[in-house]
Amino acid sequence: MAVGATYLTLVNDVLARLRESEVTSVSDNSYSVLIGKFINEAKREVEDAWNWNRLRSTITVDTVADTFNYTLTSSQKRFRVIDAFNDTQDIEMRLTGMNTLNQRFYLGTTQTGAPQEYGFNGHDSAGDAKVDVYPVPDQVYSMRFNLIIPQVDLSADTDELVMNEFPVLLGAWAKAISERGEDGGQNTSEAYQLYQYALNDAISQDAAIAQDELIWNVV
């Protein structure tokens, strides 16, 4: 299958592997809805298994003098940070816990200058992450955050999967076999083994693009 399969296509592919009839919409019946849930569960597991190139995104933020709290617009609530930089000063910024940052903000004399540290401090009304930076900027600095931002759950029939869909398909199929309590031609452990093989293969292909990132977690 090519990258970009729709939600409906994925659900019907799983149904076909289970020897069930295809549907015209994911919402056609309770079982197709359940398979849709398995698709999204498997999607999240695959997304969390590796820093996929196709999920990478860069968010830039320009500071304002005397302001230390900023929103990472479009970061959403579920993301991972690869690295962060103060590009104006060519500084890689360190992730620091908020307890430490709060002590620097509120105990003693607060430093101002080029931001060198950052910490996550809640979300805005849109659900995007907010960060505090330290020292408190004394002028405009350009900050760059390189993130892994997973795709939101598929919901409409025509929603297209961003990830390589083969491990997602096999992961959802394995979950469905487990839920049915039936083998369907493969027992549950074998189905999950096929899923992990597909996931490892997809990771290996993606890792070839970034040779310095050859350590990953397999679900």
Shared domain for 30 and 115, answered yes or no, is: no
Query: Which residues in 36-95 belong to E strands, given as ranges?
Result: 56-62, 69-71, 80-86, 91-92, 94-95
Which amino acid makes up residue 62?
D
How many domains does the chain divide into? 2
How many CA within 13 A on the CB side of residue 154?
A: 32
Say what percent of the chain tops pLDDT 90.
83
Strand order in the sheet with 117-123: 69-71, 129-134, 117-123, 94-95
- Domain carrying residue 7: 1-35+162-199
In a domain, residue 17? The reply is: yes
Burial of 72 (0-12, 13-18, 19+ CB in 10 A): buried
What 3-state DSSP class applies to 69? strand
Strand partners, 92: 85
Shared domain for 62 and 126, answered yes or no, is: yes
**Above 80 in pLDDT, residue 10?**
yes
Tell me the per-residue pLDDT of 113-154, one tens digit each, with 9 for 90 and over: 999 999 999 999 999 999 999 999 999 999 999 999 999 999
Shared domain for 75 and 135, answered yes or no, is: yes
| pLDDT confidence tier of residue 108, bands split at 50, 70 and 90 | confident
In a domain, residue 189? The reply is: yes
In a domain, residue 155? The reply is: no
Q: Are 175 and 27 in contact (CB under 8 A)?
A: no
Q: Are 149 and 76 in contact (CB under 8 A)?
A: yes
In a domain, residue 100? The reply is: yes
pLDDT of residue 95: 97
Shared domain for 144 and 167, answered yes or no, is: no
Q: What mean pLDDT comes out for the span 153-160?
A: 98
How far from the centroid of its chain's Cα atoms is residue 112's Cα?
33
Shared domain for 125 and 173, answered yes or no, is: no
Shared domain for 74 and 130, answered yes or no, is: yes
Supply the pTM of this predicted model: 0.86
Quote the CA–CA distance of 118 and 83 in Å, as a whole number: 11
pLDDT of residue 154: 98
Q: Are 147 and 57 in contact (CB under 8 A)?
A: yes
**Above 80 in pLDDT, residue 107?**
yes
pLDDT of residue 117: 97
Shared domain for 182 and 132, answered yes or no, is: no
In a domain, residue 218? The reply is: no
Tell me the per-residue pLDDT of 60-76, one tens digit each, with 9 for 90 and over: 999 999 999 999 999 98
**Cα dist. 22→25, 28, 82, 165, 208 in Å?**
9, 10, 40, 18, 36
